[in-house]
Structure 1
């Protein structure tokens, strides 16, 4: 479905832009964009949900990596676009149409649920290997410095030539800036669970019978139980307030790894970290609202960090509190909070207040707005009230999130990954005892303990030696 929607939507847009089909109406173009853009839901669900189910105890790390790859994909696709099509801007749409669809189709069967298998010391590096890998990483990180050195050398050479040139007037043309692109990861569709996983044979109760009788946190909620849960309502409201604000003003890896370490070692719940992230984003909103000199860079970094941090935390919280059985549906339900918050805060709040301030500036200048004329607002006042409202909404979201901290504090103090370790251990034992693998099943082994006593010495000096021997033999 993701492959079909991605190719169909963007290919029709490309045909319309290049004039190879009749000029579409506005609603038709909107339909093409809707189909193409929503194909990323299949990519997110296929890759993210499958990885979380395959690595349940490392879900924070997995979510951080996957959401970080979303940001990297934009830079990668930009390079591929220039390599394939140069500066042909219309061909960019064609690339978005066929490349993600092709990658998804080729690797479709690699995305599947696998049974949990653990191998100790799976990645054990010696110190020299760590030094080598760290050196490679540092070289890659500092490689862009070569570009800076080259540009500085060219600038120095041009200045030196200008000093020696009797004709100082020069006409300098610069290359146009590279086109930036942001796109989603290729659409990947999860396959059905492997046949080895047992399925319950007992008759399932109706989903309407136990909506308001949810299981304990961490167990598998039904879809309706999760949707009508107070915890899900809290998460949804907090995301609407938090992500909506950050989208108005993107991704990083820190939140997933940091939250995983803090949860595993110090039992610090993810909802508490989520609350801190919302509070931290308020600082960025206030910097923009009051127009502090030279603060836009700091505000951009803060808001960008918080936006990226909220996603791994939200997806991990949903998987931990409501289980993994219906994670595909619940994960996408949580994602709906983002466009809801973006519409309310971006369109209804920021857009309305911007137009209102722009009209005030036109009236103060003695101008009248003509029909169809765009409004332009200049100055800090254009967004001050909007970002103050966004800050208030984010504070409200952090308060709602703190309520979730109180509700789930006992749950996160326990061992939330215990059942996954038990399942992995049971799977390992079943593999060892299954017939035909050359290993004797445990039920066929009988152990016998034999005790032998020996007395040495005479008179008052005697030593008693006890020898215990365990003998294992196979039953018939």
Structure 2
């Protein structure tokens, strides 16, 4: 297979990895059942949500490994064990997500140096589908009894990543490609496939809520769309087999591509700095707190979505999780779509500026949750899914732009270390307020359970908007200069 076809095949492998990497995102779909089966309190349940995020505290190990070791992915299983054992293995499983993500980011950046932002955004968007994929697999394959459903999620969470990693390990690797011919045309094809996947995901999620579409139908449709990107490396192979170029043409194309790569790297990065230097910068801490008040807060909401739905009397937790996952998919795709088209126009929207625009509706969604109707729950869940997903996607390229590419794998894993911190602070706060409002057995029903949490989360999000505006002001000159150079 020609190098260009292998390059796109590697991208397909990254898409599959990202699609199954979010094993922690389906936690709310079975958290209530798990709480009942293990007779846990709300605080103990929050411990498990925190444990999954706590694995990211050691995520920088995967960044170091990406520099010195061959690529590979890991997974961990969680059988029916004691609470302490489940906690420890959940930490390990959370850390394995960092390894999968680091491999995906680094391979995407290295294989498409002139389209880094677009590729990272495209592949990262598929992580937003993880929760939907897992809920569809469980709904289609396993029974719906209280115990079996929780057990099924744990089994699928441990087995599916291992299977997919085994399949894609031979194809996810660095591909040395000098010339990238017709790359724009193939990106358009990839965008079409991805957008269709997102539309189908949203329609099927809404169908599960309104008309009760079967999980098996949803799973088959999603599976077909996940296989669809394979048409690109197959088409590239056919195209290249029928094309004969002289050595001189190939050498000239390689020189042009190399010059373009150097130009992109020089223009696209503010400075190349290591982790120690980054931690001394004010912009890093502003960026860290903005992420903490935006994307991390959205993840805490998702972790509590099972108990939020239960307290409001909703029985469609799995459908809510799928809805949040589907809209999160589009949120993650949106920055990549904007990158691709804005970079070819004279418009300029900086990353911090986009984050400001995304956090405004997100703050409003938290306050909308104070409305007791089910429609407000669905709308707020969709908004938070879109906005937190988009911020997560934007953050990957923001880290690279502000702090450089050379140490990206370590630097970004330091940035996302704010996720377990937010899970600990916001999650425990919500759990304590839930416990305070609950009855003697620790169960809480009604709007009172999360009312104060929604207010606090909304206020924190507003604070994040202010910090994002400050970061926007401090980085505005860099993004203006970058825009002018790229269009000069």
TM bin (shorter chain): 0.5 to 0.7
Match of 2:87 among 26, 30, 34: 30
Q: Distance in 1 between matches of 2:461 and 2:202?
A: 39
1:68 aligns with 2:130: no
1:404-452 alpha-carbon deviations (Å, 9 max, x no partner): 1111111111236979x9xxxxxxxxxxxxxxxxxxxxxxxxxxxxxxx
How far is the alpha carbon of 1:400 from its aligned partner?
0.9
Change (3 A) 1:406 1:118: farther
1:395 aligns with 2:462: yes
1:279 aligns with 2:336: no
How far is the alpha carbon of 1:74 from its aligned partner?
4.1
1:287-317 alpha-carbon deviations (Å, 9 max, x no partner): 0135478422221211111111110111111
CA-based RMSD: 4.3
Match of 1:376 among 421, 444, 461: 444
1:311-345 alpha-carbon deviations (Å, 9 max, x no partner): 01111110111111011111111211222223212
Secondary structure of 1:218's partner? coil
Question: Is 1:53–1:324's contact at 8 Å kept on the other side of the alignment?
Answer: no
Match of 1:53 among 110, 113, 121: 110
Secondary structure of 1:299's partner? helix
1:73-115 alpha-carbon deviations (Å, 9 max, x no partner): 4444555667777887556644443442243244334333445
Question: Is 1:277–1:306's contact at 8 Å kept on the other side of the alignment?
Answer: yes
Question: Is 1:61–1:257's contact at 8 Å kept on the other side of the alignment?
Answer: yes
Change (3 A) 1:30 1:4: farther
Aligned to 1:317: 398
Question: Is 1:3–1:39's contact at 8 Å kept on the other side of the alignment?
Answer: no
Question: Is 1:354–1:382's contact at 8 Å kept on the other side of the alignment?
Answer: yes
Question: Is 2:352–2:471's contact at 8 Å kept on the other side of the alignment?
Answer: yes
Equivalences for residues 113-262 of structure 1 within 5 A: 113-115=174-176, 117-124=178-185, 141=200, 218-249=270-301, 250=325, 251-252=328-329, 253-262=333-342
Secondary structure of 2:180's partner? coil
How far is the alpha carbon of 1:272 from its aligned partner?
0.3
Higher RCO (C-alpha under 8 Å, 6+ residues apart): 2
Q: Structure 1: any 5+ residue segments left out of the alignment?
A: 18-23, 153-173, 186-215, 363-368, 422-476
Q: Distance in 2 between matches of 1:342 and 1:180?
A: 31
Q: Distance in 1 between matches of 2:72 and 2:176?
A: 27
In the superposition, the TM-score normalised over structure 1's length comes to 0.59
Q: Distance in 1 between matches of 2:158 and 2:299?
A: 25
Q: Distance in 1 between matches of 2:470 and 2:109?
A: 26
Change (3 A) 1:279 1:328: same
Question: Is 1:318–1:330's contact at 8 Å kept on the other side of the alignment?
Answer: yes
Question: Is 1:64–1:312's contact at 8 Å kept on the other side of the alignment?
Answer: yes
What is the aligned length?
Answer: 332
Using the TM superposition, name which of 384-393 and 80-89 deviates more: 80-89
Q: Distance in 1 between matches of 2:138 and 2:374?
A: 37
Aligned to 1:337: 418
Aligned to 1:39: 96
1:218-264 alpha-carbon deviations (Å, 9 max, x no partner): 23211211122211111110111112332233322113322553455
Between structure 1 and structure 2, the one with the greater Rg is: 1
In the superposition, the TM-score normalised over structure 2's length comes to 0.57
Q: Distance in 2 between matches of 1:81 and 1:227?
A: 42
1:108 aligns with 2:175: no
Secondary structure of 2:450's partner? helix
Q: Distance in 2 between matches of 1:123 and 1:243?
A: 30
**Which structure carries more strand by proportion?**
1
